[in-house]
Chain A
Amino acid sequence: MAKKALFVKAKELKTDVAVIKDLEVSIGRIFDETWTEPVGPTPFPSITDLREWDFKLLQRYKPMYMPFCDLCCLCTFGKCDLTKDKRGACGLNMAGQQSRIVLIACCIGAATHLGHARHMVDHLIEKFGRRYPLDVGGVNVQLEAPITRLVCGVRPRTLGDLEDVVDYLEDQVTHLLSATHTGQEGSNLDFESKVFHAGMVDHVALEVADIAQIAAYNFPKADPEAPLVELGYGTIETHKPVIMVVGHNVISSVGIIDYLKENDLYADVEVTGLCCTAHDTTRYSSRAKIVGPISWQLRFIRSGIPDVIVLDEQCIRADTLVEAQKIKAPVIVTSDKNCQGLQNRTKDPADEIVADLVNGKVPGVLILDSEKAGEVASRTALEIAPKRKKFKVIPTVKEIIEAAKKCKLCNDCIRACPEGLLIPEAMREAAAGNLQLLVDLYETCIGCARCESACPNDFPIHSFIVAAAEKILKGEKFKIQAGRGAIQDVEIRNVGSPIVLGEIPGVVAFVGCANYPHGGIEVAEMCKEFADRRFIVVLSGCSAMSAAMYKDEEGKTLYEKYPGDFDAGGIVNVGSCVANAHIAGAAIKIANIFAKRNLRANYEEIADYIHNRVGAVGVAWGAMSQKAAAIAAGCWRLGIPVIVGPHGSKYRRMLLGRKDHEEDWYVYDARTGDRVYVGPVPEHLFYTAETKEEAMVIIAKLCMRANDTSKGRAIKLTHYIDLHKRLYGTMPDDIHLFVRTVTDIPITMKDEILDILKKKGWKEGRIPDPTLLPRLIRKMKE
């Protein structure tokens, strides 16, 4: 393991042979010599060390900016009008400003995961010690931290080893954020390179947080058969006291479960949660339950079921305290990043805090000690539940109809709704006693309640929808596989060859938030489609939950129907947001375990390998957060394309290839040094799809890679053409760009495709050993 920045200074040093004055020795890092792999070119890279690689990608995938605002209002020069590429008072133009905003977003995302990782590492070291081993999969996972090894060039073996990594990451985020200050970076492409760096930093932070918690909390360790756990409102035993946990950092939830177990109370209390904390709670204890993704927060609180609400960090509604007070449920906040204005009671005796919460003396408290928070939450839930009697604020049918009669049909609700849901029509029908249109809104509603804020009558419109659909809500009973964590080394060995050669048509990762255009069912449908096509389907976060919330005709969810192996046809839940590290990690492992490429501090070569050979695509269908942006940015630097849903267009910048620009699609043949045209593979690096159908076609298309064998390319083309014909109703118009040799043509479509190729004037090409890096050419051309 590396130690950083060793510095020795001696004013005067006397030896037998000499006197040395003002000796100063400075050593940047000391590397662990027990790891025999040579250190690559970029250990602990600075914000410019991988700039050349970034520029290669940015040359092929040029940014297309989609300004969300015409102005810049970040300093007192402004506001500055940047319309039509005007420059602001600081000299920055619109492209620079947009890329700067993307960098700020990615810094926020990376800092958030990193803050989480820092808290996790510090807490676990305090609890288990620095020497606690990082076992994330026993003998099945020798390569425990592929991203950290790749980026930093170190091999973390213990919790203590992660401290140096986190130090490095914090340093990088500081530098990146400083580049966004007025009068710093001026080039949009350099901003973009820094965006990639922020993404890479983010991926290391994800890995640090997850391997630390897997090891210390004994989460499923790379287990393809991790237990099936319960998900959905309907699975919650509402006669018991219910503790609702929300957020991403599981430490306080562990405190709750430990307290309940130690006091033999776990059977008496329901511990249930939303968002990634819920994922990780079920990784810690399979008895814990998941309510649903982030968009279920308001509906669950207003149902009155939670007796105590415990918040940690990230993606939590800022008005949780206000909502909790409506149902008379106390709130315990447990993160220094999310204090909600509550009094810090960390040092007070638990008895006093519980009494104050149960008696309603305070609406909530801040407790920055997970064990105390666990005790207070548990005891408060037990004491307050009989008093609250599940007090709820969901209106009755009669109340809805009465309100609907008073509705002015002003359209303010629909104009505030991100989805443009037809709320006024539903209200008009409700006034006539028909609630069906309100019921119909339930599946698509993302639970933001902007409709309520906009309503001039202050109607609780979201509650109207939830009340009308109460039967659906109560019927939500599903199974999801608990997050399995890492991918085993042996799984990588088994699939490495078929993925790189193209015989497994792709790895599709459905990740991110729940800001879906048409409800979570689209995620489930896409997962099923690609699992049936023998892609490897990987999930995390809210997407993993949404995919569980639909059943087939036999009443089975995807997780009950498909295996959890990282193999063709598998549906693999890795876990929470921080578990996304294992998805990128799997791609990196393929380069190392299967292809035997050196990993250690060898970022550029491994990214080049992944970009040209590993047919992986990320899909963040409901992405909304800055964290999702940072995760995507980490994929971009690895050359992995990311697709977002239509709301993802609001990330303000796409990275789009131009298949009509032939010159963009040449690689070097590492065998000969020849420059070879390989077609637009993958065509885009960051892409917004308008519809699910479009996304499915582009997923299949973006899985193609320059290295595909003819057999592999034929398989990939089969899926692309088949999906295009079924969903678009016609043959793709660009097949000629993806057929390199006649043997690439799917055998069942040979005549049809040959005819198309002839009309397009297609000429046969060849399949190189592809690389974008001249230094990897083994034999230079004369």
Chain B
Amino acid sequence: MQAESWQTAEVPGPTKALVITKPEVVVAMVKRTKRPILIVGHEAVDIDAGDEKLIDYTIRLAKTAHIPVVATAHIVGEFIKRGFPPAAWMPAVDITNRLQDPEWKGLDGKGQYDVALFTGLPYYMQWILFSTLKHFALNLKTISLDRFYQPHATWSFPNMSLKDWSENLKIMLSKLGGK
């Protein structure tokens, strides 16, 4: 399936993200992965994801799938307010820089991650950070959970309506065993 970048001019090159045609794809990836990590950008505080904000969804996802969360920008306090201190908080460029470093030992000292899920960053910034990882983090798979197609990720949803996207997120969570 072909998909288009959400921002029209943000076209990449020959290698484009595989399109997540159904949420089970992400579920299978998350279940299979040994060392996943979830990076949540500041827009997650404002974005509606069905009946809740995206940040609340990411907390439920992280708890269900046991994925450590890195909060970027200034939103660590929003996680703490919700009773879910993230595994770490650091700038988006810093976590990206670490993820592209094969020697990095991870937040827990146990080694580099194999799958990084991203959501809630500004589209164009996320676009370019995915590009770093596509080119330089050769052993890492990246997944965009946002509702707009991110061509530099390994896997991305296509551009979707809010309703369809929320539905996909819901299914994903339930298949992972969450509510």
Contact = CB atoms under 8 A, between A and B. Distances in A.
Contact of A689 (B81, B91, B98, B132): B91
Interface string B72-103: 11101110110000001101111011101000
A737 to B, nearest CB: 13
A66 interface: yes
A690 B9 contact: no
Contacts of B178: none
B122 interface: yes
A87 interface: no
A691 interface: yes
A425 to B, nearest CB: 12
A688 B132 contact: no
A94 B138 CA distance: 13
A702 to B, nearest CB: 12
A85 B123 CA distance: 24
B91 A81 contact: no
A652 to B, nearest CB: 8
A700 to B, nearest CB: 13
B134 A656 contact: no
B91 A690 contact: yes
Interface string A486-505: 00000000000000000000
B52 to A, nearest CB: 20
B93 A654 contact: yes
Contacts of A458: none
Nearest to B130: A66
A728 B89 contact: yes
Contacts of A687: 91, 93
A729 B12 contact: no
Contacts of B7: 415-416, 418, 420
Nearest to A688: B93
Contact of A694 (B6, B12, B91, B131): B91
Interface in B1-51: 6-9, 12-15, 41-42
Given A67-B131, A84-B15, A412 B8 contact: yes
Given A64-B96, A688-B125, A83 B14 contact: yes
Contacts of A689: 73, 91
Given A656-B93, A694-B91, A729 B81 contact: yes
B91 A517 contact: no
B61 interface: no
Contact of A697 (B74, B78, B138): B74
Contacts of B98: 658, 660
Contacts of B97: 64, 654, 656, 658
Interface string A691-716: 10110011000000000000000000
A420 B122 CA distance: 9
Given A64-B93, A656-B94, A730 B135 contact: no
B13 A81 contact: yes
Interface in A55-111: 64-71, 81-85, 94
Nearest to B120: A690
Contacts of B94: 656
A729 B13 contact: no
Contacts of B42: 690-691, 694
Nearest to B103: A661
B15 A64 contact: no
Contacts of B131: 66-68, 70
Contact of A420 (B80, B81, B123, B134): B123
A403 interface: no
B76 A729 contact: yes
A12 interface: no
Contacts of B92: 688, 690
Given A64-B100, A415-B8, A454-B8, A730 B80 contact: yes
B13 A69 contact: yes
B153 interface: no
Contacts of A454: 8
B77 A729 contact: yes
Interface in B125-146: 125, 128-129, 131-132, 134-136, 138
Nearest to B72: A690
Nearest to A69: B13
Given A64-B97, A85-B135, A694-B91, A646 B125 contact: yes
Contacts of A647: 124
B128 A83 contact: no
Nearest to B71: A728
Given A83-B134, A693-B74, A694-B91, A70 B80 contact: no
A83 B77 contact: no
Contacts of A646: 122, 124-125
A649 B125 CA distance: 6
Given A66-B128, A83-B13, A94-B135, A690 B122 contact: yes
B59 interface: no
A490 B8 CA distance: 53
Nearest to B11: A69
B173 interface: no
B54 interface: no
A650 interface: yes
B26 to A, nearest CB: 23
Contact of B124 (A650, A697, A728): A650
Interface in A335-366: none
Contact of B15 (A66, A68, A70, A691): A70
A733 interface: yes
A727 interface: yes
Given A412-B8, A656-B94, A727 B74 contact: yes
Given A64-B97, A85-B136, A694-B74, A733 B125 contact: no
Interface in A491-536: 517
A689 B121 CA distance: 11
Interface string A377-404: 0000000000000000000000000000
Interface in A721-741: 727-730, 733
A649 B94 CA distance: 13
A84 B154 CA distance: 12
B76 A730 contact: yes
Interface of A: 64-71, 81-85, 94, 412, 415-416, 418, 420, 454, 517, 646-647, 649-650, 652, 654, 656, 658, 660, 687-691, 693-694, 697-698, 727-730, 733
Q: Give me the 9 closest cross-chain CB pairs, A-B, nearest first.
A: A729-B77, A70-B13, A693-B74, A690-B73, A66-B128, A691-B73, A694-B73, A415-B8, A646-B125
24 contacts: A65-B136, A69-B13, A70-B14, A70-B131, A82-B135, A83-B13, A83-B15, A84-B15, A84-B134, A94-B135, A415-B8, A418-B124, A420-B7, A649-B124, A649-B129, A650-B124, A654-B97, A660-B98, A690-B125, A694-B42, A728-B74, A729-B76, A729-B80, A733-B89
